[in-house]
A and B are shown apart, each in its own frame.
Chain A
Amino acid sequence: QKEVEQDPGPLSVPEGAIVSLNCTYSNSAFQYFMWYRQYSRKGPELLMYTYSSGNKEDGRFTAQVDKSSKYISLFIRDSQPSDSATYLCAMSVTDSWGKLQFGAGTQVVVTP
């Protein structure tokens, strides 16, 4: 069993819709949760970071962490074609941001 599970998609949504992404994990020791966006043939860039359980909002992006269910989510409101990318969840036991466990990534396509 993988430590972090993420549906690879692709997930296709019309422009303006809400994109809903999620990951599940098995290691209850994870405390730091991140969402990255990765464009084709590029390195990941950090979108959201959450410590422990709770919600965090940043513009059109909302991240949620439910440690009791070992489930994290990312919501993108008012999606734009420029949001088309692969979204990766990542987690860490410690505050060492280098040693991250990644999900496989979900490919998102926002159609005009």
Chain B
Amino acid sequence: GAVVSQHPSWVICKSGTSVKIECRSLDFQATTMFWYRQFPKQSLMLMATSNEGSKATYEQGVEKDKFLINHASLTLSTLTVTSAHPEDSSFYICSAPLGTGNTEAFFGQGTRLTVV
């Protein structure tokens, strides 16, 4: 299947700092990518839809000023957690659909963020 690569796999940062997570589609172009967050023992929750060349669409309750999303090219979306706090510690996963319509979305391997 198609490959979506996420970097870094894990990161530890100090409270108050910002962290950038990259999501790349390696062998296909993705005009749309999706960012999820997963807390321990809980389901993946969609945070936002990243749209190439335009603003991201955030789900209700997700702070757009805290979770900055940039989709500058057809193969790269970035999620920046600004002024991170311990409660932002979570597993962040991106996905990218292979095309439009009824096509599978492939997931990255996820990024484990720990804020200390």
- Interface size of B by Cβ–Cβ distance < 8 Å? 30
Within 8 A of B (CB), among A6-52: 6, 8, 32, 41-46, 49
Q: Is B43 touching A99 in the complex (CB atoms < 8 A)?
A: no
Taking CB atoms, residues of chain B closer than 8 Å to A99 are: 34, 46, 49
Interface segment among B11-19, B60-68, B80-88, B107-115: the answer is: B107-115
Taking CB atoms, residues of chain B closer than 8 Å to A4 are: 43
Return the contact of A97 from the options B4, B6, B97, B108 (Cβ within 8 A): B97
Interface residue A96 (Cβ < 8 Å from any Cβ of B): yes
Return the contact of B110 from the options A32, A41, A90, A105 (Cβ within 8 A): A41
Interface residue A95 (Cβ < 8 Å from any Cβ of B): yes
Taking CB atoms, residues of chain B closer than 8 Å to A98 are: 32-34, 46, 49, 95-97, 105
Main secondary structure of the interface of A (DSSP, over half): loop
Q: Is A100 touching B46 in the complex (CB atoms < 8 A)?
A: yes
Q: Is A88 touching B105 in the complex (CB atoms < 8 A)?
A: no
Interface residue A104 (Cβ < 8 Å from any Cβ of B): yes
Known: A99-B34, A103-B43; 18 extra A-B contacts, CB below 8 A, are A4-B43, A41-B9, A41-B91, A42-B110, A43-B4, A43-B93, A44-B44, A44-B107, A49-B104, A97-B104, A98-B32, A98-B33, A98-B49, A98-B105, A100-B44, A100-B46, A102-B44, A104-B41
The 3 A-B residue pairs with the shortest CB-CB distance, nearest first, are A43-B107, A95-B102, A97-B105
